[in-house]
C-alpha cells in the first residue's frame, strides 16, 4: 500500500480547534498539506485557518459535532468540494471526565461515549466513503488508556477501550475486502494538552494530566508519519508503554498500585474550572496545557519501534514488576 507524500495530501482532522488536532493541522500545512479542520467551535476554527493562511498554508474549516453523523458527513462533503478528495482522515476529537464511575452522571457518561466512541465510528464511516476506492489512511487517536484500566478516569478509559477494539476489528474487515486504506491507531501517553482544563470534573481541586507527561508534538509527528507510511499502531511515550506492559502482565499487582495514582490526577491547591467542553465548545485555540510542561523527547519513539529497544523496555517492565512482587511478598511474610 503506497501513501502520498505529505505535500501532496488533503488531510481531514477532527478535534482540530485545540491540542493534538490543532498542532497536527499546523505542522501538516507547514509541510505543504492541504488541511480541513473540523470541530464545534466555528469562531476558533476561523481564527486558526486565518492564521495558517497568513503563514502561507492551505486550510479550510467545517463546524461539526463528531457525535452527529449528518454533521460530520456534511463536513466531509465540504472537504471534497473545497479540495477535490481526501487522502488522510484523522479521528482526534475527544472529551474527558474526572470522576469515579459511581459518581459519573449518566448524561455525562453517555455524552462522552457519543463523542469519543461514536465520533470515531462516524469519522471512520465518513472517511471511508471518500477513500475506499482511491486509497488513503485512516488514523485514529486513542490512548494508552485503551489498553489498561484507570481510577478516576474510568468513563474515558472505557471509551478508549471501545475505540481500540472497533478500529482493530475494522482493520481486519477492510483487509479481508482488499480496501486500500491504511488503518492506524495512535496511543498517546499523558500529553500536555488542554484536555484537563476542558474536562468535566467531579473531584476536589483542578484536574491534572495523568503522569508522565509528554509534549503533544510527539503525537503530531506520529500522526503525520502514519499518513505517509502504513503502520498498525504507535504508542507515543515509552513510559506509557511500560505502564501498559505492567498492567497487561501483572493485572492483580497493577490493581493494587493503581489507586496511588488517583491523587496525582488532581491539584487540590487550585480550584477546578467552572465550565467544560463536554456538551458545548470550550475556549479553544491552545495547542498545549497552560499548566503542564511535557517532555519533548521519547527514546521509545525515536528508536523504540526498533525491536531491540522494545525488548529492553519489556524487560525493564518485568524487572520492575518482579521487584514490586518481591517487596509485596516480603511485607506479607513479615
pLDDT tens, 105-154? 999 999 999 999 999 999 999 999 999 999 999 999 999 999 999 999 99
268 versus 40: the higher-pLDDT residue is 40
What are the phi and psi torsion angles at 100 (to 5°)? Answer: -65, 155
What pTM was estimated for this model as a whole? 0.89
**Is 156 part of the annotated catalytic residue set?**
yes
3-state helix, strand, coil in the chain (%, to 5): 50, 15, 30
- Confidence band (pLDDT; 50, 70, 90) for 285? confident
Residue with cell 529492553: 312
When mean pLDDT is compared across 173-177, 215-219, 262-266, 313-317, the lowest value belongs to 313-317
pLDDT, position 263: 79
Query: CB 217: neighbour CB atoms within 10 A?
Result: 18
Strand 181-188's sheet: what is its strand order?
A: 58-63, 34-39, 10-14, 88-91, 136-141, 181-188, 233-236
pLDDT, position 311: 53
Mean pLDDT of 61-75: 98
For residue 268, the 8-state DSSP code is: T
Mean pLDDT of 303-316: 52
Degrees to nearest 5, angle at CA 288 with 282 and 38: 50
10 strand-pairing partners: 34
Mean pLDDT of 184-209: 93
pLDDT, position 261: 76
% of the chain surpassing 90 pLDDT: 75
When mean pLDDT is compared across 165-179, 192-206, 295-309, the lowest value belongs to 295-309
- Active-site position among 117, 156, 214, 300: 156
State the Cα torsion 24-7-91-181 to the nearest 10°.
-150
State the Cα torsion 243-248-250-255 to the nearest 10°.
70
Mean pLDDT of 302-313: 54
Domains of the chain, each with CATH number or no CATH: 6-333 (3.40.50.720)
Closest CA to 75 of 10, 8, 14: 14
Closest CA to 294 of 177, 178, 210: 210
Residues 6+ apart with CB under 8 A from 295: 212, 213, 214, 215
pLDDT, position 290: 75
- Confidence band (pLDDT; 50, 70, 90) for 7? very high
pLDDT averaged over every residue in the chain = 89
Exposure string of 127-146, with b = 16+ CB inside 10 Å and e = fewer, is bbebbeeeebbbbbbbbbbb
Span 43-59, pLDDT tens digits: 999 999 999 999 999 99
pLDDT, position 268: 83
Amino acid at each position: 500500500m503506497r501513501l502520498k507524500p505529505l505535500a501532496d495530501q488533503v488531510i481531514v482532522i477532527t478535534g482540530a480547534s485545540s491540542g493534538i488536532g490543532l498542532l497536527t493541522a499546523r505542522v501538516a500545512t507547514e509541510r505543504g498539506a492541504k488541511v480541513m479542520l473540523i470541530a464545534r467551535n466555528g469562531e476558533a476554527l476561523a481564527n486558526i485557518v486565518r492564521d495558517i493562511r497568513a503563514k502561507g498554508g492551505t486550510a479550510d474549516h467545517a463546524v461539526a459535532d463528531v457525535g452527529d453523523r449528518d454533521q460530520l458527513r456534511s463536513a466531509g462533503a465540504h472537504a471534497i468540494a473545497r479540495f477535490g478528495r481526501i487522502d488522510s482522515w484523522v479521528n482526534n476529537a475527544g472529551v474527558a471526565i474526572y470522576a469515579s464511575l459511581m459518581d459519573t452522571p449518566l448524561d455525562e457518561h453517555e455524552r462522552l461515549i457519543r463523542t469519543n466512541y461514536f465520533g470515531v465510528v462516524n469519522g471512520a464511516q465518513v472517511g471511508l466513503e471518500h477513500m475506499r476506492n482511491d486509497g488513503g489512511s485512516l488514523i485514529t487517536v486513542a490512548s494508552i488508556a485503551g489498553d489498561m484500566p484507570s481510577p478516576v478516569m474510568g468513563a474515558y478509559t472505557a471509551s478508549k477501550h471501545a475505540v481500540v477494539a472497533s478500529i482493530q476489528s475494522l482493520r481486519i474487515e477492510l483487509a479481508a475486502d482488499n480496501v486500500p486504506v491504511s488503518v492506524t491507531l495512535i496511543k498517546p501517553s499523558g500529553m500536555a494538552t488542554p484536555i484537563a482544563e476542558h474536562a468535566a470534573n467531579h473531584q476536589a481541586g483542578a484536574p491534572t494530566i495523568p503522569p508522565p507527561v509528554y509534549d503533544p508534538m510527539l503525537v503530531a509527528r506520529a500522526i503525520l508519519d502514519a499518513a505517509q507510511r502504513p503502520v498498525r499502531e504507535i504508542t507515543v511515550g515509552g513510559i506509557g508503554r511500560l505502564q501498559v506492559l505492567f498492567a497487561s502482565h501483572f493485572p492483580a499487582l497493577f490493581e493494587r498500585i493503581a489507586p496511588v495514582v488517583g491523587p496525582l490526577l488532581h491539584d487540590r491547591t487550585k480550584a477546578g474550572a467552572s465550565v467544560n467542553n463536554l456538551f458545548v465548545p470550550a475556549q479553544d485555540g491552545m495547542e498545549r496545557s497552560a499548566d503542564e510542561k511535557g517532555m519533548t523527547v521519547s527514546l521509545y519513539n525515536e528508536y523504540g519501534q526498533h525491536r531491540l529497544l522494545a525488548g529492553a523496555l519489556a524487560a525493564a517492565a518485568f524487572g520492575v514488576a518482579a521487584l514490586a512482587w518481591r517487596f509485596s511478598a516480603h511485607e506479607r511474610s513479615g
